[in-house]
Amino acid sequence: MSNLYNSILITGAAGFIGSALSLRLLEEKYNIIGIDNMNNYYSIKLKKDRVERINKNLENLQGSWVFQKCSIDSKEDLNQIFKKYSPDLVVNLAAQAGVRYSLKNPNLYIESNIKGFLNILECCKEYKVKRLIYASSSSVYGSNKKIPFSESDTACHPISLYASTKRSNELMAHSYSHLYNIDSIGLRFFTVYGPWGRPDMAPMIFAKSILKGEYIDIYNNGEMSRDFTFIDDVVEIILKCIQKNNSLKSKFDFDISDPSESFAPHKIFNIGNGKPIKLMDFISHLEKNLEISAKKNFMELQDGDVISTHADISKIQNWIGNHQMTSFEKGINKFVQWYKNYYYPNY
């Protein structure tokens, strides 16, 4: 398949999804400009190692790769990137992540997730970008009780500032899509995990504590579940969204309000596995793969946490064609093998 775009800008390219996507697109012979602000929200070494992983593989890849340190918070710096490289597709994965961190540092979320995203939209407008794909989050569903979460459900009751910024991104992208005819796709990610993952998420936190013989904190006394989505599946779905050539405009009936459809060239999709895993089953799989029993500290539900997530993924499957999702058993095994090799090479 011939590539539809001359060059692709990936923001957050040193991040978990961004680095994995960059590597995959290079395999498909795309020309990639990666940017990241390399902040210290979590290990900078891990971010550098992700970039180095790409650099080490370049001789076996046919796409081109440029990486620059740049923050989307800076309109001036971002403008220079667009001016120099003229990307015709943007995948925005840069954001201040973390539900709990947003309770302590709200200003960071406004700067990056609102101001930074506005800068992305303005550059897409000014430089005539053909398509924008951006990261949203399952957290936008907030306190919804209907399971599984569908894109046609309301997303008007977020329970964290992080979720509010992600829902704001969807509304901002929709308005720019309408006003400036920018094809835009928002992806609501459901608990992405796997090799090279984020240290602030449960798989890394729990694996670290279990191997060190420390207690793991289990919130809501273990009565929780998550729709864990393996990184390889996320990357393949984004690739298919990039390769999808048809217009994003839909027939829109104002008398039948469906938040997932629009008169603008803008779509929103859930990206999940579709098979939620109970928290205690997740811990059991980790214990089995690590061959160590966890010390458990049961606690009450935290502010900003939702009890369960479960993605209805029929819309994305219908749009890109059926994609076979990785089983949790296979995914968690791959994660544990990477984790031990990366952090405990002599384990």
Q: Does residue 279 have a pLDDT over 70?
A: yes
Q: What is the 3 state secondary structure string of the chain?
A: CCCCCCCEEEECCCCHHHHHHHHHHHHCCCCEEEEECCCCCCCHHHHHHHHHHHHHHHHHCCCCEEEEECCCCCHHHHHHHHHHHCCCEEEECCCCCCHHHHHHCHHHHHHHHHHHHHHHHHHHHHCCCCEEEEEEEHHHHCCCCCCCECCCCCCCCCCCHHHHHHHHHHHHHHHHHHHHCCEEEEEEECCEECCCCCCCCHHHHHHHHHHHCCEEEEHHHHCCEECCEEHHHHHHHHHHHHHCCCCCCCCCCCCCCCCCCCCCCEEEEEECCCCCEEHHHHHHHHHHHHCCCCEEEECCCCCCCCCECCECCHHHHHHHCCCCCCCHHHHHHHHHHHHHHHHCCCC
- Assign 299 a pLDDT band (cuts: 50, 70, 90): confident
Q: Does residue 23 have a pLDDT over 80?
A: yes
Tell me what the mean pLDDT of segment 7-35 comes to: 97
Percentage of residues in the chain having pLDDT higher than 90: 76
| Domain at 8-194+228-274+312-325: CATH architecture | 3-Layer(aba) Sandwich (3.40)
| Active-site residue (options: 162, 176, 193, 339) | 162
Highest mean pLDDT among 137-146, 190-199, 250-259, 303-312: 190-199
- Assign 249 a pLDDT band (cuts: 50, 70, 90): low
- Assign 250 a pLDDT band (cuts: 50, 70, 90): low
- Assign 230 a pLDDT band (cuts: 50, 70, 90): very high
Q: Please state the domain extents for the chain.
A: 8-194+228-274+312-325
Residue 342 annotated in active site: no
- Assign 14 a pLDDT band (cuts: 50, 70, 90): very high
> Whole-number mean pLDDT of the chain?
92
For the stretch 157-170, pLDDT in tens is: 888 899 999 999 99
- Assign 63 a pLDDT band (cuts: 50, 70, 90): confident
